[in-house]
Amino acid sequence: MKKAQALNFINSRSGVEKLKNRNTTFANISISGSKAAWWMNIKLDNFKKDWNILLVGEDQLFWLQIPAMTFKNPEKYFRIWEEKNAVNLVVSCDRQDRYFQDISSGAIGVDFKPFIREKFSIPEELNSLPEHSLKKSKQKPEVISFTSVPSLRPEVRKQRIIVQDQTNISYDRLFAKHLRGADNIELQDPWIRLPYQFQNLLEFCVMLGNNKEPGGTINLKVISWNTREFQEQSKACFEEIAASVKEMRINLTFALEKHHDRYIKADNGCKVILGRGLDIYEKREGRFSIGDVDQRWRKCKPCEITYLRE
């Protein structure tokens, strides 16, 4: 998402154009090394007035407001980029590591959660739209109907609705029997980019390896995305996982392509529509959790999963 899109999105919902370039800092998720965070710079003088921060999460847009003079002496709280006369913020977006705290080296770890004024669910289509498409269009939307070609409609076999904090849900329970017998599987999930999301992918591969035919091989293609400046980090993570799961006879290949649908498609005729991709679990609490070694003990995020037979 671009800054102009975020400004238009929030202003359209508040009904008043409160947010502008001159009073707002904007950041998408970035990855540097092992850190998943929102990286940004704010001029020191901006802390003397009311200031807004817009942070784009995986599926939410966060609007933060910092009242004037909250940090009267920013150098006491933050790392200062002297050449730019600005604060250098690295706000963690990793739910398992100091979520919403400043993790910049030399800072005191200010928690920005109290400054969240509002958070918005991001429509699926918004990230795929260019900025000008947020403006009203006079063109009528094209309506596509499948009633004349019913043979193209896949058969819905089952739908599973997962509620907030539900437990006893694992990848094995969700996917194993539907993917059994498949030799070629395609997983499309545009949000495999943070460390815990790569861990989810690894666990998905282990599930496949534990359920395939003895001596058999599964070819798994993963289609995901990351912003261009961090694609090399993503590639390194995918390559490391591919090398690891090869011992289980899982041949993992990947492609970085910008799509927004989330699904699993197998050559046994099964397709699974994933409401949240593989990212269905809430952050685990504490350093030692049963859920770290057994998915059934993890609490889930609300989502829907639909199983099709093509």
The predicted model scores a pTM of 0.54
Predicted confidence (pLDDT) at residue 97 exceeds the cutoff of 90: no
Range with the lowest mean pLDDT among 9-18, 179-188, 233-242? 9-18
Residue among 193, 166, 171, 170 nearest 258 (CA): 193
The two structure tokens encoding residue 28: 């998408």
Mean pLDDT value across the chain: 84
Crossing angle for the helix pair 231-245 and 195-211, nearest 10 degrees?
30
Looking at residue 128, its pLDDT comes to 45
**Between 283 and 182, residue with greater pLDDT:** 182
* Look-up of token digits 């993890």: 298
Looking at residue 36, its pLDDT comes to 76
Predicted confidence (pLDDT) at residue 146 exceeds the cutoff of 70: no
CATH number of the 154-309 domain: 3.30.870.30
Kindly report, as residue ranges, where domains of CATH 3.30.870.30 are found in the chain. Answer: 154-309
Looking at residue 142, its pLDDT comes to 37
Paired sense of beta strands 86-92 and 79-81, if any: antiparallel
Predicted confidence (pLDDT) at residue 302 exceeds the cutoff of 70: yes
Predicted confidence (pLDDT) at residue 61 exceeds the cutoff of 50: yes
Give the pLDDT band of residue 58 (cuts 50, 70, 90).
Answer: confident
